[in-house]
């Protein structure tokens, strides 16, 4: 018995370390690596850096230096601190100020982070919809860990009562990624003066090193950012309510980012608001996006000069509403905070016609049909011959009926069939749900699955032979669901080859 174990051990020792790491990586997702790590001391020592490189700490009480066993500190690369203090009794869950979070201690963080030599990424997040403040001293501790390069703050309020203490950011790390995500369901006020001041301090400290920046639009200091150079920034994400009061348009910031490759402007519209131009007609600047490859803009404006200045390097573009227009239509109670204006086919055609994007491989659009819908679909075929994936939401005033409106569906899919490289198609045709059962989730799902499969079987043969994935959007018990079908050529024509759909939920905000 002993001889067998020794032989096995010697073979393991003989393996190249890179091979061992690859084996461990394959075992990790299925939780099999933990069992291997418990087999012997040698295996434990080899697997520890992989097992504990990503750690999550649930915080229900104020943290101490034992918030994570010190034996794990040498291995932690990514740390998630999750505020769960709402789980405690109401009398204990909050300090004197109900906005302040009592679980994070700046002193503990400043003493522990330098002892984690591999720590590169820190995320602090809320696990519920409560309003908690991230105090200035805690935020400064997160931003000042010397070896950390990525900080993500999720659903906290960033210094809403008081900005950073004096000189607390003198040792801020040269972060390459700073992401601040707000809960979109928080009621007004959506921004606080000290919060805007604190964010302005951060961007002025980090503009030279940042490669990724994500900010809520309500607390984005556009004026400060427009006066800074951003030599390394490659990915900018702004989310939240569309800014309507700022005298500085977003283009004034973008033009200071010569290496920007991914621009995501996921801005929402509230009732009474109107769409805003990213690049207003009165604003003069040069070509600000020489290297842009991926562009996401919600609620595009037909007079926006951004689209007439897009370079041919763009490969992915999405111009869909946020939240998804279908969610606002199908579940108005849940999404009553927002009121997205849907572009007409004519407006969308005008927007798309302003640019030349011969290398575009992905496009996402939504529109209401009008007299120029056929011209819009023809423009997709003529202008984007290399499209491999398309997401199209056609939201008419009257939902399409099945099977009465088959000719309309056929017209759309036949137009798309001329895209010779199209591989994945997502269609939301706003189908009529007449006849759908009420109240029973099981019966609703069975009815929707059957109706969706009927329509998929009608659509698939009319798509081009290159399409292998067809998805149809339907209302769900929560949000909406994409019913995904595999498509393959049968006797020379595309057919749905799997009657059971793969489901993907659409909700807002999308899970991170």
388: containing domain = 317-512
Q: What is the spatial distance between Cα 76 and Cα 425, in angstroms, rounded to a whole number?
A: 40
Task: Work out the widest C-alpha separation in the chain, in whole angstroms.
Answer: 83
**Residue located via tokens 């919600």:** 298
Q: What is the pLDDT of residues 301-327, one digit of tens each?
A: 999 999 999 999 999 999 999 999 999
Residue 413 lies in a domain: yes
- Both tokens of 24, joined, read 């461990």
Q: What is the spatial distance between Cα 44 and Cα 23, in angstroms, rounded to a whole number?
A: 14
Q: What is the pLDDT of residues 31-70, one digit of tens each?
A: 677 777 777 777 788 888 888 999 999 998 889 988 999 9
**Total domains, the chain:** 1
Question: 389-394 and 424-428: which strand pairing?
Answer: parallel
Q: Which residues contact 283 (CB under 8 A, 6 or more apart)?
A: 249, 251, 252, 305
Q: What is the mean pLDDT of residues 272-298?
A: 92
Q: CB neighbours (10 Å) of residue 430?
A: 20
Bridge partner list, 460: none
Residue 416 lies in a domain: yes
Task: Work out the pLDDT band at 118, boundaries 50, 70, 90.
Answer: very high
Radius of gyration of the chain (CA): 26
Q: Which residues contact 511 (CB under 8 A, 6 or more apart)?
A: none
Residue 153 lies in a domain: no
Residue 11 lies in a domain: no
Flag the least confident range among 1-10, 108-117, 343-352.
1-10
pLDDT at 93: 43
The DSSP element (H or E) to which 363 belongs, if any, is strand 362-367
Q: What is the spatial distance between Cα 292 and Cα 288, in angstroms, rounded to a whole number?
A: 9
pLDDT at 499: 62
**Residues 126, 149: contact at Cβ < 8 Å?**
no
**Residues 172, 144: contact at Cβ < 8 Å?**
yes
Residue 268 lies in a domain: no
Q: What is the spatial distance between Cα 471 and Cα 88, in angstroms, rounded to a whole number?
A: 43
Give, rounded to a whole angstrom, the gap between the first and last alpha carbons of the chain: 49
Residue 441 lies in a domain: yes
Task: Work out the pLDDT band at 164, boundaries 50, 70, 90.
Answer: confident
- Both tokens of 17, joined, read 């370390």
Q: What is the spatial distance between Cα 201 and Cα 22, in angstroms, rounded to a whole number?
A: 42
Residue bearing the bigger pLDDT, 287 or 73: 73
Closest C-alpha to 125, from 166, 44, 182:
182
The DSSP element (H or E) to which 45 belongs, if any, is helix 41-51
**Residues 38, 44: contact at Cβ < 8 Å?**
yes
DSSP state of 417: T
Residue 206 lies in a domain: no
Cα dist from 33 to 7, 25, 197, 486, whole Å = 21, 8, 46, 33
Q: For all residues of the chain together, what is the average pLDDT?
A: 88
Q: How crowded is the C-beta side of 99, counted as CA atoms within 13 Å? A: 11
CB-based contacts of 501-504 (< 8 A; 24+ apart in sequence)? 501/449, 501/452, 501/453, 501/456, 504/471
Q: What is the pLDDT of residues 449-506, one digit of tens each?
A: 999 999 999 999 999 889 999 999 999 877 899 999 999 877 777 788 776 667 888 8
Residue 501 lies in a domain: yes
Q: What is the pLDDT of residues 79-103, one digit of tens each?
A: 999 988 764 444 344 455 656 677 8
For the chain, give the percent of residues with pLDDT over 70.
92
Q: CB neighbours (10 Å) of residue 446?
A: 12
Q: How crowded is the C-beta side of 450, counted as CA atoms within 13 Å? A: 10
pLDDT at 97: 63
pLDDT at 94: 47
- Both tokens of 400, joined, read 């399409």
Task: Work out the pLDDT band at 3, boundaries 50, 70, 90.
Answer: very low
Q: What is the spatial distance between Cα 216 and Cα 86, in angstroms, rounded to a whole number?
A: 24
Q: Which residues contact 421 (CB under 8 A, 6 or more apart)?
A: 385, 386, 387, 388, 466
pLDDT at 233: 98
């Amino acid at each position: 018995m002993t001889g067998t174990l020794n032989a096995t051990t010697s073979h393991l020792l003989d393996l190249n370390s890179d091979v061992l790491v690859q084996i461990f990586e394959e075992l990790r997702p299925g939780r099999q690596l933990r069992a291997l790590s418990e087999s012997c001391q040698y295996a434990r020592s080899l697997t520890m850096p992989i097992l504990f490189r990503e750690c999550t700490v649930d915080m229900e009480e104020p943290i101490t230096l034992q918030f994570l066993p010190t034996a794990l500190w040498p291995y932690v690369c990514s740390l998630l601190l999750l505020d769960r203090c709402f789980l405690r009794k109401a009398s204990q869950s909050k300090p004197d100020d109900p906005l302040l979070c009592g679980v994070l201690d700046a002193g503990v963080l400043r003493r522990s982070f330098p002892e984690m030599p591999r720590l590169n990424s820190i995320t602090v997040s809320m696990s519920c919809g409560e309003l908690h403040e991230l105090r200035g001293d805690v935020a400064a501790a997160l931003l000042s860990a010397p070896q950390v390069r990525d900080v993500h703050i999720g659903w906290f309020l960033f210094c809403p009562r008081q900005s950073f203490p004096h000189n607390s950011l003198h040792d801020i790390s040269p972060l390459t990624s700073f992401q601040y995500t707000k809960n979109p369901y928080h009621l007004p006020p959506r921004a606080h003066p000290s919060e805007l001041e604190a964010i302005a301090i951060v961007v002025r400290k980090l503009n030279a090193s940042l490669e990724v920046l994500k900010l809520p639009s309500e607390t984005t200091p556009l004026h400060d950012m427009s006066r800074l150079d951003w030599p390394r920034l490659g990915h900018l994400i702004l989310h939240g309510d569309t800014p309507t009061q700022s005298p500085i348009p977003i283009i004034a910031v973008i033009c200071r980012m010569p290496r920007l490759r991914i621009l995501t402007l996921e801005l929402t519209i509230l009732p009474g608001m109107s769409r805003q131009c990213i690049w207003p007609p009165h604003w003069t600047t040069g070509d600000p996006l020489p290297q842009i490859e991926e562009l996401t803009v919600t609620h595009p404006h037909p007079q926006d000069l951004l689209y007439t200045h897009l370079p041919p390097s763009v490969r992915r573009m999405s111009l869909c509403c946020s939240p998804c227009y279908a969610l606002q239509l199908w579940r108005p109670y849940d999404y009553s905070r927002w009121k997205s204006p849907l572009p007409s086919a004519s407006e969308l055609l005008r927007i798309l016609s302003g640019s030349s994007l011969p290398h575009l491989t992905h496009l996402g659009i939504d529109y209401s049909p009008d007299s120029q819908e056929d011209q819009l679909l023809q423009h997709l075929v003529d202008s984007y011959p290399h499209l491999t994936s398309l997401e199209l939401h056609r939201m008419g005033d009257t939902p399409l009926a099945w099977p009465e409106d088959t000719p309309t569906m056929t017209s759309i899919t036949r137009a798309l069939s001329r895209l010779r490289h199209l591989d994945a198609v997502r269609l939301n045709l706003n189908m009529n749900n007449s006849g759908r059962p009420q109240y029973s989730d099981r019966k609703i799902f069975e009815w929707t699955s059957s109706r969706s499969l009927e329509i998929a079987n009608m659509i698939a043969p009319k798509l081009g032979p290159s399409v292998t994935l067809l998805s149809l959007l339907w209302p769900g018990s929560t949000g909406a669901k994409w019913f995904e079908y595999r498509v393959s050529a049968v006797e020379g024509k595309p057919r749905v080859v799997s009657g059971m759909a793969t489901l993907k939920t659409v909700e807002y905000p999308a899970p991170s």
